[in-house]
Amino acid sequence: MSLDEQPGEDERFVAALRGGAPLLDPVPEPIRAAARAAYAMRRPDAILAGVREDSADFPPVGLRDAGLDPGLRFLTFEAAGWVIRLEITAHDGLRDITGRVSPPGCVDVEIRQPHGRYREPVDATGAFVARDVERGPVSLLCHRTGARPVATDWIAI
């Protein structure tokens, strides 16, 4: 087949849409399983707190050498007057999460991962610590007495 006879990019794209060759590689099963587990943990009643700042993208201003330590990460989530600040520290293939919820009012924080979930208490100032969290996708769910919970976006740690 000469160069002039080969199908162009548009023709290959249309053929793929019609069921020919796939445009993308199939999603690996571990990723699909993690997505199914995360979907099963959804809380439609929760207020969603999106990522406002992530030191993986932009190191904090004024924090010396923050961008040089791959074992340290800072995140800030915000939603409807709520702020959740996290410091994530890597050690021995695990992660410690130190956080603060503002304003105070959460009773506990649920650490959600595709393989399970557990709760950590939140003190009167809104601070909490989760030790030895496994690497991978994670979302936090802040439980509040008599109010809707606040859930963070899923992030990879």
pLDDT digits 0-9 by tens, 113-157: 988 899 999 999 999 999 999 999 999 999 998 999 999 999 999
**Residue entry with tokens 């996708």:** 137
Q: What is the token pair recorded at 76?
A: 């800030």
Task: Tell me phi and psi for residue 57, to 5 degrees.
Answer: -95, -45
**Is the Cβ–Cβ distance between 102 and 126 less than 8 Å?**
yes
- This prediction's pTM: 0.74
- Extents of the domains making up the chain: 45-156
Q: Which CATH class is domain 45-156?
A: mainly beta
d(CA 122, CA 128): 5
Q: Is the dihedral of CA 121, 123, 126, 131 positive or negative?
A: negative
Strands 150-152 and 47-54: parallel
